[in-house]
Amino acid sequence: MARKSNEETKKKGLGRGLGKGLEALFEESPQVQENEEVHNLSLDEIRPNPYQPRKTFDQKSLKELAESIKENGVFQPIIVRKSVNGYEIIAGERRYRASGLAKKETIPAIIRDFDEAQMMEVAVLENLQREDLTPLEEAQAYETLQKNLGLTQEEVSKRLGKSRPYIANYLRLLTLPQKTKRLLQHGELSMGQARTLLGLKNKDEIDSLAKKVVKEGITVRQLESLVNRMNEKDSLQPKQKKIKKSAFIKASETQLAGKFGTSVNITENKKGKGHLAIDFSSTEELNRILDLLGINLDK
């Protein structure tokens, strides 16, 4: 009974601030409304919701659903809206994808009239209710609502039935560097580990520390202690004043990066002495750069 109560509470929270049209999408068995009918639409006419926050779908569960559809068909119609060229999915993208895997040509669908704002909200809400999103996808969904609907964090939290700190914590994940984001997206890092990494003062160390966390299986509590020690060590080190790069140095970096096809960094001290660094990611790339410089180590 407790589980059922929690699910009901979750639905009520997610439905807060929504109109009846949106709430109807999250009923266990949405009924065909008055003057509506179920259409058998061609899969070729249907496109996914352009605001779908979920980037990856579990292929194993899709194949299982496809096998069920082969045997029994699609019991619950998907919800679509008419677009300029065919239809766009409002709810039911898993059924649509599985039907394609099952080699079905048509799918039962209910056509409803939704605007852009409702499409965005439904895309987020449907996935949140089913807990299908990774932490990063959830964060990107909140950012989409903010940017495209012009909402504040407070307004997003009210519309989705979440607390403002909850929304803020997810949005902070978007400030992680790309390599760490990939680890989070693929489930190698947990939400707790990612949030702890954000507490690192030296942001340049996040990627290397994230890699260490995954490799050594460091827990959130262990990571908190490690981040605190690294922050204390960083605060004790004298901070070096950055020397602003001249327009000539910046232009030189750009020209060299274009020539070598990789990142180039030039640093210069107050005495006019400098350092030139050319990045490469493999032995093959190093050999390519050496060829461009006219250096042949075989001779």
Whether pLDDT at 13 is above 50: no
| Region of poorest pLDDT, from 43-47, 118-122, 155-159, 212-216 | 118-122
Mean pLDDT across 7-36? 46
Residues 269-287: tens digit of each pLDDT: 766 678 888 887 777 777 7
pLDDT value of position 9: 39
Region 230-241: mean pLDDT is 73
Active site residues: 93
pLDDT of 144 reads 81
- In this predicted structure, what is the pLDDT of residue 222? 94
pLDDT at 207 over 80: yes
Q: In the predicted model, what is the mean pLDDT of residues 121-146? A: 77
Nearest residue to 87 (alpha-carbon basis) of 49, 115, 38, 118: 49
Q: Which of 121-130, 149-158, 193-202 has the lowest mean pLDDT?
A: 121-130
- pLDDT for 212 equals 94
pLDDT in the model for residue 99: 93
**pLDDT > 50? residue 294:** yes
Judged against a pLDDT cut of 80, whether residue 61 lies above it is answered with: yes
pLDDT mean over 233-241 = 68
Total-model pTM: 0.54
Higher pLDDT, 102 or 285: 102
In terms of average pLDDT, the best of 13-22, 29-38, 143-152, 219-228 is: 219-228
The pLDDT value recorded for residue 170 is 92
CA distances from 171 to 37, 136, 191, 222, 261 (A): 40, 9, 12, 24, 33
pLDDT band at 27 (very low <50, low <70, confident <90, very high): very low
Q: Name the more confident of 90 and 242.
A: 90
161-203 pLDDT per residue, tens: 889 999 999 999 999 999 999 999 889 999 999 999 999 999 9
The pLDDT value recorded for residue 206 is: 94
What pLDDT, on a 0 to 100 scale, did the predictor assign at position 29? 39
Q: What does the H/E/C string look like for the chain? A: CHHHHHHHHHHHHHHCCCCHHHHHHHCCCCCCCCCCCEEEEEHHHEECCCCCCCCCCCHHHHHHHHHHHHHHCCCCCEEEEEECCEEEEEECHHHHHHHHHCCCCEEEEEECCCCHHHHHHHHHHHHHHHCCCCHHHHHHHHHHHHHHHCCCHHHHHHHHCCCHHHHHHHHHHHHCCHHHHHHHHCCCCCHHHHHHHCCCCCHHHHHHHHHHHHHHCCCHHHHHHHHHHHHHHHHHCCCCCCCCCCHHHHHHHHHHHHHHCCCEEEEECCCCCEEEEECCCCHHHHHHHHHHCCCCCCC
Of residues 178 and 26, more confidently modeled:
178
Confidence check: pLDDT of 15 > 70 = no
